[in-house]
Amino acid sequence: MTATAAQRNALGAYGETLAARHLTRSGMVLIDRNWRCDQGEIDLILRDGDVLVVCEVKTRTTDSYGGPLETISDAKVSRLRRLAARWVAERGVHPTDIRIDLVGVLRPRRGPAEIEHVAGVG
């Protein structure tokens, strides 16, 4: 792994940790993290009451090329829907509803990180 790839991985892990902390402080329960299968990965899986929440986290150090959430495409949201269905089938759970949330983390060089949570995009 190159130094740049290692830096990206570390930044992503940092953002996912902040996002998980932010969401659990808001009352959600973290169920799974970085779940992978042959079709992709889900960053965070949480429970919000009776709703299963599949969460994509994007972390950036600058918004020069747009904010973190702007990088999430409709195709990614569609993939998250498929991955959520697969996770549910593999776990044998039957949530009353499934929601897809996005969390953007902007980690500037100075000052605290900014976290933006958008619930129910798909």
Q: Mean per-residue pLDDT for 65-83?
A: 90
Q: What is the pLDDT of residue 66?
A: 81
Q: What contacts 92, CB < 8 A, 6 or more positions away?
A: none
* Domain of 112, in residue numbers: 3-118
Q: What percent of the chain has pLDDT over 90?
A: 75
In tens, the pLDDT along 80-95 reads 999 999 999 999 999 9
CATH of the domain at 90: 3.40.1350.10
Instruction: Confirm whether pTM is higher than 0.85.
Output: yes
Checking 87-93 for CB contacts under 8 A at 24+ apart, the result is 87/32, 87/35, 87/42, 87/45, 87/54, 88/52, 90/37, 93/52
Please check the confidence at residue 96 and state whether its pLDDT lies above 90.
yes
Please check the confidence at residue 1 and state whether its pLDDT lies above 70.
no
Cβ atoms within 10 Å, residue 54: 24
Q: How many domains does the chain have?
A: 1
